[in-house]
């Protein structure tokens, strides 16, 4: 059946067609109630509101002048763990992301300038040398994140004195002795500073702090992991205030006798810019719309099930990756893939692409293809709602977070994360657990169970309820 041109145009522009035409639209014989996603869903770690001022990153005078200003703040990491402030009041402890006045950190950063460093300590690099623009090749990694502005309308400042709001930086203090670092900071009697396991420490952050943490941790991790040029093996150094890497062999004073020029010195190279790894994560619904396919990784925590996920591979679209991953992990063929939302996931640098898809539940489930899963099964809406209503239904214990990271480090293919196996639920515990709302998997599961998925009919009758396919 031909598709109306207005429908195609609306899909391209992501706008609804005229209301009088919505009821008459057909796609593969199914009535469409909605052909666009509507309002975006902002996930935990998402919705970053900083004015990143990307065009000013190469301006060493600007970022160097901005760092010591009284309004500037810095978030600090050690080995991926954020510095948090524990506030003690009336016997209660609350944890927030520590935002340290940047000026207090001068003694641990080395000699100025902090950006645009020349060959010798204290020397300012010439402004016309591209490979030295806001370069920092001495001292711990320091990154300009952006400015939190008082107004929703983003400004375009040209000078430090034009900036209105709070500039934010991120510091990798992994190689700075903790005692040396903490001794430079002014801490009140009601505060206790410490580096904390990131997932549990950030679980109750405000939306702004969560998005700030996600950006900062991803950038710190990227710089910390890429210390050597993948093209020639020379040391790398950050420029553009931490947003670009360069090979040290291209420094004006570098001595490279007998070596060919580094390939990174010409053209655009994807290994010299911040990395984001795309992951498709999908809630698969059966043809009635009343059951959901969830899987249990072999190393998941006790009785823990989640939506299936995996990294996007070269040459794939989102929907291609969804179909391949679900098939490889569960042996189930899916169709009607529909995008829901995306979530930045700073462990270490993922972008989770959340989708829904439909499948025939009579297919045989098999987990022997890539052996990622211990189990995969269909759960009813009633089963999931019961778990969501249980006080421990989405609870992840603090000791389990470390296992998640260890399991992810061991995996080279799947983006699902894991912990220790304990298939028997404890007394007074739910029969299984699902991810919390801070993870996109938890949102996909919860919205489906509660009938809150945009474009799904309230009756949940059949795969026909999947609207706005990609």
pLDDT tens digits, one per residue of 112-140: 999 999 999 999 999 999 999 999 999 99
Using DSSP, state whether 306 is helix, strand or coil: strand
Please give the Cα distance from 414 to 376 (Å, whole number). 15
Using DSSP, state whether 352 is helix, strand or coil: strand
Please give the Cα distance from 53 to 155 (Å, whole number). 9
Cα distances (Å, whole numbers) of residue 273 to 89, 251, 264, 311, 312: 43, 18, 11, 19, 19
b/e 219-229 (16+ beta carbons within 10 angstroms → b): bbbbbbebeeb
Please give the Cα distance from 131 to 149 (Å, whole number). 30
**Nearest CA among 234, 256, 257, 258 for reference residue 247:** 234
Using DSSP, state whether 410 is helix, strand or coil: helix
Q: Which residues, including other chains, have CB under 8 Å from residue 92's CB and lie 6 or more apart?
A: none
Model pLDDT, residue 39: 62
Q: Which residues share a beta bridge with 94?
A: 87
b/e 238-275 (16+ beta carbons within 10 angstroms → b): bbbbbbbbbbbbbbeeeeeeeeeebebeeeebeebebe
Render each residue's pLDDT in the chain as its tens digit; 470 residues: 344 444 343 443 344 443 333 333 333 333 333 334 546 789 999 999 999 999 999 999 999 999 999 999 999 999 999 999 998 878 788 899 999 999 999 999 999 999 999 999 999 999 999 999 999 999 999 999 999 999 888 999 999 999 999 999 999 999 999 999 999 998 877 788 999 999 999 998 999 999 999 999 999 999 999 999 999 999 999 999 999 999 999 999 999 887 888 988 887 777 789 999 999 999 999 999 999 999 999 888 889 999 999 999 999 999 999 999 999 999 999 999 999 999 999 999 999 999 999 999 999 999 999 999 999 999 999 999 999 999 999 998 877 776 555 555 545 444 443 333 344 555 688 999 999 999 999 999 999 999 998 766 544 433 334 444 45
**Nearest CA among 336, 364, 283 for reference residue 463:** 336
**Model confidence over 159-212: pLDDT tens digits?**
999 999 999 999 999 999 999 999 999 887 778 899 999 999 999 899 999 999
C-beta of residue 358 within 8 angstroms of C-beta of residue 284: yes
C-beta of residue 440 within 8 angstroms of C-beta of residue 343: yes
Please give the Cα distance from 214 to 203 (Å, whole number). 12
C-beta neighbour count of 414 within 10 angstroms: 22
Tokens of residue 164, six digits: 């209105």
Please give the Cα distance from 354 to 443 (Å, whole number). 9
Looking at residue 160, the DSSP 8-state letter turns out to be: G
Q: Measured on CA atoms in the order 358, 362, 364, 366, is the torsion positive or negative?
A: positive
C-beta of residue 238 within 8 angstroms of C-beta of residue 248: no
**Nearest CA among 9, 45, 418 for reference residue 208:** 45
Please give the Cα distance from 189 to 88 (Å, whole number). 9
**Model confidence over 406-454: pLDDT tens digits?**
555 545 444 443 333 344 555 688 999 999 999 999 999 999 999 998 7
Spans of all domains in the chain: 1-36, 54-272, 277-465
C-beta of residue 455 within 8 angstroms of C-beta of residue 442: no
CA-angle at 276, arms to 273 and 280, nearest 5°: 155
Please give the Cα distance from 161 to 157 (Å, whole number). 8
Domain 277-465: homologous superfamily in CATH: Nucleoside Triphosphate Pyrophosphohydrolase (3.90.79.10)
CA-angle at 25, arms to 24 and 30, nearest 5°: 110
Q: Which residues, including other chains, have CB under 8 Å from residue 114's CB and lie 6 or more apart?
A: 63, 64, 67, 136, 139, 142
C-beta of residue 436 within 8 angstroms of C-beta of residue 394: yes
């Amino acid at each position: 059946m031909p598709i109306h041109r207005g429908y195609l145009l609306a899909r391209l522009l992501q706008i609804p067609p005229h209301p009088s035409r919505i009821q008459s639209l057909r796609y593969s014989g199914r009535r469409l109630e909605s052909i666009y996603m509507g309002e975006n869903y902002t996930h935990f770690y998402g919705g970053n509101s900083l004015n990143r001022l990307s065009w000013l990153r190469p301006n060493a005078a600007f970022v160097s002048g901005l760092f010591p200003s009284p309004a500037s703040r810095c978030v600090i990491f050690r080995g991926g763990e954020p510095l948090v402030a524990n506030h003690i009041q009336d016997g209660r402890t609350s944890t927030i992301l520590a935002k340290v006045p940047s000026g207090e950190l001068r003694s641990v950063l080395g000699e100025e300038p902090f950006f645009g460093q020349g060959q010798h300590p204290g020397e300012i690099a010439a402004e016309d040398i591209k490979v030295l623009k806001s370069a920092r090749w001495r001292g711990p990694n320091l990154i300009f994140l952006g400015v939190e502005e008082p107004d929703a309308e983003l400004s375009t400042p040209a000078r430090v004195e034009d900036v209105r709001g709070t500039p934010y930086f991120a510091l990798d203090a992994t190689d700075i002795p903790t005692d040396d670092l903490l001794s430079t900071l002014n801490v009140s009697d009601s505060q206790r500073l410490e580096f904390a396991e990131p997932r549990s420490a950030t679980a109750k952050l405000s939306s702004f702090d969560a998005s700030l943490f996600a950006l900062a941790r991803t950038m710190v991790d990227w710089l910390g992991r890429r210390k050597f040029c993948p093209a020639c093996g020379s040391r790398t150094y950050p420029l553009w205030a931490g947003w670009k890497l360069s090979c040290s062999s291209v420094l004006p004073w570098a001595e490279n006798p007998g070596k060919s020029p580094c390939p990174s010195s010409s053209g655009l190279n994807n290994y010299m810019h911040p990395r984001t790894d795309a992951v498709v994560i999908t809630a698969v619904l059966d043809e009635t719309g009343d059951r959901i396919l969830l899987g249990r990784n072999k190393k998941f925590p006790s009785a823990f099930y989640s939506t299936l996920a995996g990294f996007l591979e070269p040459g794939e679209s989102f929907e291609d990756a969804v179909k391949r991953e679900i098939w490889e992990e569960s042996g189930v063929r899916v169709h009607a893939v529909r995008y829901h939302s995306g979530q930045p996931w700073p462990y270490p640098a993922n972008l989770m692409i959340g989708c829904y898809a439909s499948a025939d539940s009579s297919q045989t489930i098999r987990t022997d293809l890539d052996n990622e899963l211990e189990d995969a099964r269909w759960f009813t809406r009633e089963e999931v709602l019961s778990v969501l209503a249980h006080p421990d239904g989405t609870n992840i214990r603090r000791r389990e977070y470390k296992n998640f990271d260890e399991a992810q480090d061991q995996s080279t293919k799947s983006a699902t994360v894991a912990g220790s196996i304990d298939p028997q639920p404890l007394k007074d515990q739910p029969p299984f657990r699902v991810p919390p709302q801070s993870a996109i998997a938890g949102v996909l599961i919860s919205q489906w169970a509660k009938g809150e998925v945009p474009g799904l009919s309230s009756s949940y009758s059949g795969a026909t309820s999947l609207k706005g396919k990609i």
